[in-house]
Chain A
Amino acid sequence: MPQILVQDLAKTYRVAERDPGMLGAVRGLVRRRWRTVEALKDVSFSLERGELLGFIGPNGAGKSTTIKILSGILRPDGGRVEIEGLVPYADRIKHVARIGVVFGQRTQLWWDLPVIDGFDLLRDIYRVDPQRYKATRDELVAMLRLEKLLDQPVRQLSLGQRMRAEIAAALLHEPSILFLDEPTIGLDAPSKLAVREFVKKLNQERGVTVLLTTHDMHDIEALAQRVIVIGHGQVLADSPFETLRANVLAERRLFVDFAGDAPALDLPGAEVRNRDGRSLELAFDPRVTSAPALIAAITARHAVEDIHVEQPAIEEVIAKFYDLHGANEA
């Protein structure tokens, strides 16, 4: 029995539409037109204990709807969810005591209170045993380097500091599943690294199951063993990240700087993408030709100053994937 089981999830919203212009505004006062939006059509997947799943998709694809259903605060129209034997939206209070949720754009701490006071309140809200709470809290404080922040009111923290405090707050009751919704949004590079490092450790050392949604593909690259791509309310792909990368965009790039002007080259299996002064950019499919073969062919005929190979950026992989599935209009 997997820890999280999601079957045929469906959810439809109704949104009001308004005609443009002054007349439309007046008409809208009297009669509304409604449009139904299928946020989720048929989403199924399952997750084993201790997995770290990345959940990606363009805005409006159904990510947050799925997260809301899994966390118990939204009831689906169809399908079934079971998490550790509970149906989240039917057994909400019991369910939420076992999960932790971090929203990157919203705080759950008390704005005008020192961090530690907020933690103490959460202890009482979650009915955590005081002894146990103290141990967990001290551990989290050490791991997330919060010692100096504990006595500061939350409103005085920087975004990065606050996010670390948020994550600690979500874990004080030792949940077995952690939902992270855009946890690195707006953070500076060191803070992003700190968050990623912590999440990785939490997952690997504590076996906490992590479900991560993000637009930052570096989060996914650094953390996720497995990725689900969602678009148009459907699961477009569910695979290890490397498989996704290999399938969608096997392409490699070869960048060459010549001693003189870049020549017009015609090599089998490679295509010129860009030629500018002395530099040349080639794209090739490693399944057709290899980097050493290309380099050998070029250096045999031309004087070369510098040469390097790149994998396409992960953002490109995903953008191309969305394009392929027409997911971008969502």
Chain B
Amino acid sequence: MNALSLLGRYFGASMRSQMQYPASAMMLTLAQLASTAIEIVSIWALFDRFGAVKGWAFGEVMFFYALIGISFSFADFLTRGFDVFGSDFVRTGAFDRLLLRPRSAALQLVGHDFRISRFGRFFQASIILAIATGTLGFVWTPQAILLALWTIAGGVAFFGALFVLQAVMAFWTVESLEAVNALTYGGVYAGQFPISFYARWFRTFLIFIVPLACVSYFPVLAILGRSDPLGAPDWFLPLAPAAGFLFLALAFLAWRFGVSKYTSTGS
């Protein structure tokens, strides 16, 4: 059985086991929706007090917020196994069990769990996207839709890479997961604003080191049909999400290194 159909099996199993407690799945989804929705209140409060900033209004920022939120919700849905890797696999020794099976550990971790509740964030972000569309009077051309899907794909790869890196860190310390929270949840937060809000060193970091801007700022400019006020060439904007996939590939290299470290120290 090939990897993709095996993932399909895992998916079915995960859905069946969550459906053993349908009320709980429902509640968690709603809680996710509420908890992510409340964050936008603080952004709204800032715009309410200070007005538009550097040519960006609340409607556009909602656009950033929504696309990042959708990307993150999918990544969170697909890479839950990496997210809980330190606590549920390394600390408990359950990772040994994955290594005892004739499949790649990464594949088994993706299949470990698909959390229905992650759709809470997805719904919330979709609602924000609808509101942003209305506020800006944005027209969804087929080209814009394709570009948005491509952006989301790059974003899923990007956040997936962060979850993989978080898991890699667990090989060294299971107590360190907070650090990557800075990059995952902190990434969602940082990606909600156009990078022109940030200082130069931070923009450089978000473009070249942890390429968050490549899966949010640049492609969203392309979708909105705007040029980059910071001077990135127009042709680059729609191509930027590819950086998310490159980042994911690098994360898996680090993952392989982590696994080999694990098998040589056993801890």
Residues of B in contact (CB 8 Å), total 27
Contacting A at CB under 8 A, from B1-48, are: 1, 5-6, 9-10, 13, 16-18, 20
A51 close to chain B: CB less than 8 A = no
Contacting B at CB under 8 A, from A95-137, are: 96-97, 99, 101, 103, 106, 108, 110-113, 117, 120-121, 124-127
Q: Are A106 and B94 in contact (CB under 8 A)?
A: yes
Q: Are A127 and B263 in contact (CB under 8 A)?
A: no
Q: Which residues of A contact B265 (CB under 8 A)?
A: 13-14
Q: Are B267 and A68 in contact (CB under 8 A)?
A: no
Among B20, B94, B267, contact of A153 (Cβ-Cβ < 8 Å): B20
Given the known interface contacts A13-B265, A117-B13, A127-B1, the answer about A68 and B96 at a Cβ–Cβ threshold of 8 Å is yes
B225 close to chain A: CB less than 8 A = no
Instruction: Output the least CB separation between B236 and chain A (Å).
Output: 40
Q: Which residues of B contact A125 (CB under 8 A)?
A: 6, 101-103, 108
Q: Which residues of B contact A206 (CB under 8 A)?
A: none
Q: Are A97 and B102 in contact (CB under 8 A)?
A: yes
Q: Are B101 and A96 in contact (CB under 8 A)?
A: yes
Given the known interface contacts A75-B263, A106-B94, the answer about A112 and B17 at a Cβ–Cβ threshold of 8 Å is yes
Instruction: Output the least CB separation between A154 and chain B (Å).
Output: 10
Q: Interface of chain A, helix or strand or loop or mixed?
A: mixed
Q: Interface of chain B, helix or strand or loop or mixed?
A: helix
Q: Which residues of A contact B267 (CB under 8 A)?
A: 13
**For residue B99, which residue of chain A has the nearest CB?**
A73
Given the known interface contacts A97-B102, A113-B17, the answer about A13 and B6 at a Cβ–Cβ threshold of 8 Å is no
A and B contact pairs by CB, cutoff 8 A, 22 listed: A11-B266, A13-B267, A14-B265, A68-B266, A72-B100, A73-B96, A75-B263, A89-B263, A93-B102, A96-B101, A103-B97, A111-B17, A112-B17, A112-B18, A113-B16, A117-B13, A117-B16, A120-B9, A121-B10, A124-B9, A125-B108, A127-B1
Given the known interface contacts A13-B266, A108-B97, A112-B20, the answer about A121 and B102 at a Cβ–Cβ threshold of 8 Å is no
Q: Which residues of A contact B96 (CB under 8 A)?
A: 68, 73, 103
Residues of A in contact (CB 8 Å), total 33
A249 close to chain B: CB less than 8 A = no
B141 close to chain A: CB less than 8 A = no
Among A11, A101, A127, contact of B100 (Cβ-Cβ < 8 Å): A101
Instruction: Output the least CB separation between B226 and chain A (Å).
Output: 48
Other than the given A75-B264, A125-B108, 14 more pairs (CB < 8 A) read A68-B96, A73-B100, A73-B263, A75-B263, A96-B101, A103-B96, A112-B18, A113-B13, A124-B5, A124-B9, A125-B6, A125-B102, A126-B101, A126-B102
